Structure 1
């Protein structure tokens, strides 16, 4: 059985977990937080999560894991069957992960963890985020799903990361860049949360946050 290592607050962990749940792939969750401890580095070279352990070995990086799952379970429609539609879904995922979330991540220290980032970092991130969100809006359809009329992996990526981008920009700049661009990520989250897999991911994340506050 596949073991998914990580923790419920990680958006990339939740992206992989959503895929596993959505497509009925058996897996076991193993709690691990990012670390430079050798016990983690032995399986994830940069000490990041998520990573999975399989009968054949370990894999890290969420998109690599998802591509592996798609090939290992060809009967599971993780990507659309049509090659072009599948490529468009991958394109949208790349925009969310690379041009939006990865840029916003530079600001998480101040937005969520009580630290500070430099004004130069904020200025650079603002420029890149405005540019990236505008590009994403040109690609995305939200009619009602990110890629159009069908639920795809792009919705899972957006569900996992767009709220973080919106909340981060609101915390740092005083406005939600995603909503201001006309992308209603809140409506999208509400739509996707109707799916049992999304509900499970959301409930587990909330439970983790509540337990952390209690402790």
Structure 2
């Protein structure tokens, strides 16, 4: 059985978890925090989560894990069986992970963890995100899902990361960059949240936050 290692506050952990749940792939959760020590390096070379443990060995990076799952369980059709649709799903995931969330991540220290970021960082991120969000809006359909009426693996990435982008920009700049281009990500989340896998991910995240706030 696959062991999914990480913790429920991580959006990339939840990306993999959502996919496993959505496609009914058996797995076991193992609580692991990111750390710069040899115990974690033995499984994840940068000390990051998530990573999975399989009978073949360890694998890190959420997108590499999704690609492995898609190849390991072809009957699950994690990506569309149509080559063009599958490519468009990967395109959307790349935009969300690389061009939106990874850029916004430079602001999390101030937005969520009580730290501060420099004005230079805020200016750089604002410039990049303004352009990237506009580009994302050109390819994302929101009809109600990212590829239109059909839920896809791209929506797993959207569900776990778009709230971070919208919420972070609202906190740091006083306005939501996604809403600025007409993306109602809260309505989008509601559409995705109708799926049992999404509800499980959200409930487990809330439970984790509650447990850590009490400790």
Q: TM-score range by the shorter chain?
A: over 0.9
TM-score (norm 1): 0.99
Superposed CA offset, 1:154-189 (max 9, x none):
101000000000110011001111112111110011
CA distance, structure 2, for counterparts of residue 115 and residue 46 of structure 1: 23
Q: Secondary structure, in 3 states, of the residue corresponding to 2:52? A: strand
User: Structure 1: 5+ residue runs without aligned partners?
Assistant: none
Aligned residues: 215
Q: Secondary structure, in 3 states, of the residue corresponding to 1:141? A: coil
Superposed CA offset, 1:112-154 (max 9, x none):
0000000000000000001110000000001111011211111
> 1:167 aligned to 2:167?
yes
- Corresponding residue for residue 2 of structure 1: 2
Structure 1 residue 88: Cα displacement: 0.2
RMSD across aligned positions (CA): 0.5
Q: How does 1:75-90 map to 2 (within 5 A)?
A: 75-90=75-90
> 1:15 aligned to 2:15?
yes
Structure 1 residue 63: Cα displacement: 0.2
User: Structure 2: 5+ residue runs without aligned partners?
Assistant: none
Which structure 1 residue ranges, 4+ long, deviate > 4 Å from structure 2? none
CA distance, structure 2, for counterparts of residue 22 and residue 210 of structure 1: 24
Q: Secondary structure, in 3 states, of the residue corresponding to 1:175? A: coil
CA distance, structure 1, for counterparts of residue 13 and residue 205 of structure 2: 11
CA distance, structure 2, for counterparts of residue 133 and residue 122 of structure 1: 16
- Corresponding residue for residue 208 of structure 1: 208
Q: Secondary structure, in 3 states, of the residue corresponding to 2:59? A: strand
